[in-house]
Chains A and B, each alone.
Chain A
Amino acid sequence: MAAVEVLPEAEALYWRPRVDAARLRHLGRLWTLSAAFHVLPFVSAAALLMWAQPLALPVALACLAHAWIIPELYAQRGANVLRHRARQADGPEQRSVGLLGDLVGHDARNLHARTGLVIEPGALGVWIVGEAGAVLLHGRRKQAYCYCIKVDAKHPGAGELPSGDRIAHLLLALRSDEQGFATVANLAFAGARWRLRRRMRKELRPALDAALLRSDSASCVAR
């Protein structure tokens, strides 16, 4: 059997550095810095305005609103990677969910029935896999890395895949080459888990909780 170790999609993106734990830490720090650079000028401006002229309160409040909304917009972009896409007819949907169920364990099947998302532990952390993206909880602080990745729309039929198949595509690629998977995917957001959780739809949040639990138990075993 001629097995392929590197995801072919990642091979094609030869200019992208392969994502490993060090690269993730680097990306996480860049996102934190970028958030600080977005927030601090507005907070400073608000403070300066209030110090110079208390009558400028409305402008100072507008500055604070900007400081609050920019990180929220980024977190929303991250949460969007797990949003469900349009459903196909019932028959194909059920068949695809059946196949996905064969690929995952009992707990993951139950979680998928409740949230439409699948939890997958990997070497980099615990993944939450959706139809057009995945979230990785990585590191001691379980920082959230939200990745956009989906079946390439160039291929005929890619847009007609039922939800279970869309997830199964991502899951199989993730299982065959986790680092390659993260390399192919586009990082939509990296940041605090609580920030992401707040922007996720309520019905999807149990998947984040389950991933965190899984991540905690994996950390306990590692210790």
Chain B
Amino acid sequence: MSKLIRMDHTGHSTIAEWTADDQGAVDAAVRAFSAELDRGYLAMVSAGPGQAEQVRELPVDADLVILRLPLSGG
């Protein structure tokens, strides 16, 4: 089961869950993903140990997609 989570004031919230063979769940996850990107979130997936990648489309085969807010210099 793949998950789309958003880091927020609760620690993190699960926005969508899907399996690649459940097209309905994938479509719902894609919609939720786009909505979060429209709100200004950035999506990250792990790309191996110590590596991460930012993505602009939902990677359906990823186990975990994390939504983060943009950063700025302090």
Contact = CB atoms under 8 A, between A and B. Distances in A.
A160 interface: yes
Given A92-B9, A168-B7, A148 B73 contact: yes
Nearest to A183: B73
Nearest to A158: B69
Contacts, number: 127
B57 A151 contact: no
A173 B72 CA distance: 11
> Chain B: interface residue count, which band?
20 to 34
Contact of B74 (A148, A155, A157, A161): A148
A162 B9 contact: yes
Contacts of B44: 172, 176
Contact of B11 (A94, A120, A150): A94
Contacts of A7: 54
Given A3-B55, A168-B68, A172-B66, A149 B11 contact: no
A161 B8 contact: yes
Contacts of A172: 44, 52, 66, 68
A24 interface: no
A121 B50 CA distance: 8
Contacts of A173: 68, 71
A4 interface: yes
Contact of A155 (B40, B54, B57, B59): B40
Contacts of B73: 147-149, 184-186
A133 B40 CA distance: 21
B74 A96 contact: no
Given A157-B9, A169-B69, A172-B44, A132 B54 contact: no
A57 to B, nearest CB: 41
A93 interface: yes
A8 B57 contact: no
Interface string A202-223: 0000000000000000000000
A169 B68 CA distance: 6
Given A160-B9, A165-B11, A149 B57 contact: no
Nearest to A92: B11
A2 B56 contact: yes
B11 A91 contact: yes
B11 A186 contact: no
B55 A155 contact: no
A154 B37 CA distance: 16
A152 B71 contact: yes
Nearest to B51: A175
Interface in A68-82: 81
Interface of B: 5, 7-12, 40, 42, 44-47, 49-57, 59, 62, 64, 66, 68-74
